[in-house]
């Protein structure tokens, strides 16, 4: 009797499946991935696209019985374009979730649409602290500049660095880095002078001349991913590599994507960040190997790991909601924890920001290539700006 009931149910299910094939196809869960695939920040787009595709290749394109469809759009790095693309993806394609967002202005532009349409927005790259406050539907898998920077200030203060010049790109994340470093370092008795360089087409040389004249113990630098090589070139041209001034900062400047091409000038740079391709864990070894294999040897950087973890968060969230997007999906993502290639991570249920280890690293040559080699770990770091507000 039991057996017959079971067969009956299975038979009915088979008929339903056959009849609703077309309806099921329409029910695909769509992910809108908006990235700068062209323009000066195309390296971020390329890294995140590759990581998202790798995740899908490894985990399949079906979640909770529904087909996952990734729709990639190029915003060319222009915020108005990001907003228009998000609008089209929401209205025409009826996406369940949008993801990507290569720079802070590109993450902020569609935030009101996320709120209005109740579409979760997974920020995989942009890193100004306040971004998650722009909509209750934003969740972040990258990092925040204050999260990566405060440990740098503490390391510098403990390591005989007394006078620092900060040089940052003059927009959200750079200003975050400058403020976080200055307040944490001066609180430990350090001395700081601040310089800001334009984000677009930066010419570092007049600023580097000021640094040479100020003769600090260290130069703290933030430039967004992809720009570090340009900075390093001018650093050498100004002779600062021979000045004895140490190079420190959050790890964006020694980005894995371009580090190996920088040459010996990068050796010895001390940075603090959440991801290094040299991170020593079985999860990271297999991630780096698979990423390189799928992308002609390209090394994944911290943007790639933000994209890979963002896809993980979407897949696991959809499993919990049975494929539903909207409020259910953002709620399912809150508090989630997993082991990333970067180490253990979780989504803070209050702020929707990622909680993660920050590593202190030094650029070294390993097997003939330059890497950020981790030598100390600050575990489970929250964004300090939001942590301070909730106290």
Tell me the CA distances in angstroms from 78 to 104, 113, 222, one per residue in order: 11, 17, 21
Q: What mask, x for binding ligand PHB by CB under 6 A, covers residues 46 to 85? A: ----------------------------------------
* Beta carbon of residue 256, minimum distance to ligand PHB (angstroms, whole number): 12
Shortest distance in whole angstroms from residue 227 CB to ligand PHB: 8
The correct pick among 43, 47, 82, 104 for binding ligand PHB (CB under 6 A) is 104
**Contact string (CB under 6 A) for ligand PHB, positions 231-260, x = contact:** ---------------------x--------
Nearer to ligand PHB, 32 or 40 (CB): 40
Binding ligand PHB (rule: CB under 6 A), the pick from 52, 126, 148, 333 is 126
93-to-27, 69, 102, 281 alpha-carbon distances in Å: 11, 11, 21, 39
Scan for tokens 């968060």, then name that residue. Answer: 313
Per DSSP, 391 falls in state -
CA atoms within 13 A on the CB side of 18: 6
How far is the C-alpha of 123 from the C-alpha of 131, rounded, in Å?
9
Pick between residue 225 and residue 372 the one whose CB is nearest to ligand PHB.
Answer: 225
Task: Please report whether residue 272 would count as binding ligand PHB according to CB under 6 A.
Answer: no
Provide the β-strand partners of residue 166.
194, 220
CB of 226 to ligand PHB, least distance (A): 8
Please give the span between the terminal C-alpha atoms of the chain, in angstroms, as a whole number.
62
Which residue from 86, 103, 192, 345 is in contact with ligand PHB, where contact means CB under 6 A? 103
The residue from 40, 45, 190, 224 that contacts ligand PHB (CB under 6 A) is 224
Specify the DSSP element, H or E, that contains 256: helix 256-259
In a 3-state reduction of DSSP, which class is residue 380? Answer: strand
* Contact positions vs ligand PHB (CB under 6 A): 103-104, 126-128, 172-173, 224-225, 252
């Amino acid at each position: 009797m039991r057996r017959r009931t079971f067969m009956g149910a299975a038979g009915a299910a088979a008929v339903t499946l056959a009849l609703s094939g077309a309806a099921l196809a329409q029910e695909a869960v769509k992910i809108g991935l908006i990235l700068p695939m062209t323009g000066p920040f195309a390296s971020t787009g390329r890294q995140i696209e590759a990581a998202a595709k790798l995740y899908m290749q490894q985990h399949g394109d079906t979640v909770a019985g529904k087909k996952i469809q990734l729709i990639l759009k190029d915003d060319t790095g222009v915020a108005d374009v990001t907003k228009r693309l998000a609008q089209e993806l929401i209205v025409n394609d009826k996406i369940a979730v949008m993801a990507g967002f290569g720079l802070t202005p590109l993450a902020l532009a569609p935030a009101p649409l996320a709120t209005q349409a109740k579409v979760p927005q997974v920020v995989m790259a942009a890193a100004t602290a306040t971004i998650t406050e722009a909509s209750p539907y934003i969740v972040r898998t990258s990092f925040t500049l204050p999260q990566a920077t405060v440990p740098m200030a503490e390391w510098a203060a403990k390591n005989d660095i007394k006078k620092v010049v900060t040089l940052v790109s003059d927009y959200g994340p750079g200003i975050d880095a400058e403020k976080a470093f200055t307040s944490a370092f001066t609180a430990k008795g350090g001395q700081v002078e601040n310089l800001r360089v334009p984000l677009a087409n930066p010419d570092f040389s007049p600023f580097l001349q000021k640094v040479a004249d100020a003769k600090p113990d260290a130069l703290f630098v933030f430039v967004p991913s992809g720009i570090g090589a340009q900075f390093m070139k001018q650093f050498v041209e100004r002779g600062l590599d021979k000045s004895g001034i140490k190079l420190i900062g959050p790890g964006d400047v020694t980005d894995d994507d371009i580090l190996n091409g920088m040459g010996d000038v990068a050796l010895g740079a001390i940075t603090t960040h959440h991801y290094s391709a040299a991170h020593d864990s079985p999860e990271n070894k297999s991630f780096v190997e698979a990423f390189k294999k799928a992308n002609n040897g390209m090394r994944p950087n911290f943007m790639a790991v933000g994209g890979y973890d963002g896809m993980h968060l979407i897949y696991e969230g959809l499993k919990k909601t049975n494929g539903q997007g909207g409020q259910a999906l953002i709620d399912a993502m809150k508090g989630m924890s997993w082991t990333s290639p970067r180490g253990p991570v979780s989504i803070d249920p209050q702020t929707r920001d990622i909680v993660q280890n920050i590593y202190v690293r030094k650029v070294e040559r390993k097997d003939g290539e330059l890497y950020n080699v981790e030598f100390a770990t600050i575990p489970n770091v929250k964004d300090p700006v939001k942590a301070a507000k909730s106290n």
